[in-house]
């Protein structure tokens, strides 16, 4: 399998990689992102809240979602489904991206 980096964005930590499969006309395009800074930032913001911290008026940040993950959610239609978004944002699997304690 041949591998070639098609794009790299140092600002967001994203990388797009093209994989061509040997003996085939098939290929795969992979998107990945280094999320370590996003997790560190979310952890710092989370320190300022507890489960009982009230939501303010208007918009309240509840998470910092990596762009590659958000793009996948858009593709699957999740961002247009408020119930699904709440489920995702409250998921224990995504707790490291939460910027405040409590549930959405």
From first to last of its 104 residues, what are the pLDDT tens digits of the chain? 788 888 888 888 889 889 988 888 888 888 888 899 999 999 999 998 877 777 777 788 899 999 999 999 999 999 999 999 999 999 999 999 999 988 88
| pLDDT at residue 25 in the model | 85
Q: Per-domain residue ranges for the chain?
A: 1-34, 38-104
Q: Where do the DSSP E strands lie in the chain? A: 2-9, 14-20, 27-33
| pLDDT at residue 4 in the model | 86
| pLDDT at residue 76 in the model | 97
Using CA atoms, how far apart are residues 37 and 50, in angstroms rounded to an integer? 22
DSSP, res 57:
S
31 forms beta bridges with: 16
């Amino acid at each position: 399998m041949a591998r070639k980096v098609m794009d790299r964005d140092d600002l967001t930590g994203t990388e797009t990689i093209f994989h061509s499969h040997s003996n085939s006309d098939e290929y795969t395009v992979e998107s990945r992102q280094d999320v370590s800074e996003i997790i560190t930032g979310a952890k710092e913001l989370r320190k300022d809240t507890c489960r009982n911290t009230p939501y303010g008026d208007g918009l309240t940040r509840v998470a910092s979602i990596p762009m590659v993950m958000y793009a996948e959610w858009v593709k699957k239609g999740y961002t247009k489904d408020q119930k699904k978004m709440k489920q995702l944002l409250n998921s224990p699997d995504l707790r490291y991206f939460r910027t405040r304690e409590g549930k959405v």
